[in-house]
Amino acid sequence: MNMTLRTILVLALQIAALLGMIGIKQWTLNSGTPVVLETLPVDPRSLFSGDYVRLNYSISTLLLDQLGGDKEFKRHDSVYVVLQSGEPYATPVSVHHEMPQLAGGQVAIRGEVEYASTTRWNQQSRQLEPAKSLNVHYGIENYYVEEGTGQTLERPADNAKVTVRVAVDRFGNAGISAILLNGKERHVERLL
């Protein structure tokens, strides 16, 4: 095989891999079940990537004593969190090591345990109390926005609420389909 043919083959494989990654994400957004998640935005900025919103979800910290499913997890475990559709947000029902059977109105979102704890901080009493909890990363914690538009989402007005609509496919993969401000689409994910 000559050098030109090898170079063309390598480039074709790289392009195919990139198109495959885009296709998988687009498939999740198009075929996934939409759920709205409550968010707790924080304030980052990347010099290389521009404005982005870093999102912390109410489902990112799970109290295992209040949920069904499995009870023993360790760092880096894959988990499936069953969410029940509701108004205004989807809420966690159970946590599992394997994809569980789902009832009507439920989806299972896949994540990775960042850390597991046997205590939690109680904001009201300002004390640590015993409680099995997990902090879970879902891969939907960063969302890049147009330059200069991130401030509106990072620091909304006092009466404004930022939420996220995600699409969750049948394998538990999630993708952000829209950022909502007071229930109205502010940023919508589109292919090109």
Spatial distance between the Cα atoms of 25 and 175, rounded to a whole number of angstroms:
7
pTM: 0.75
Assess if residue 7 is contained within a domain.
Answer: no
Q: How far apart are CA 97 and CA 78, in angstroms?
A: 6
Q: Is residue 8 part of a domain?
A: no
Whether 61 is covered by a domain: the verdict is yes
Instruction: Please report the pLDDT score of residue 179 as a whole number.
Output: 86
Asked whether residue 27 is domain-assigned, the answer is no
Quick check: is 11 in a domain?
Answer: no
Instruction: State the residue range of the domain holding 140.
Output: 32-188
Give me the number of domains the chain comprises: 1
Sign of CA dihedral 65, 71, 76, 77: negative
In a domain, 13, yes or no: no
| pLDDT tens-place string over residues 101-142 | 999 889 999 999 999 998 877 888 888 888 899 999 999 988
122 within a domain of the structure (yes/no): yes
In a domain, 25, yes or no: no
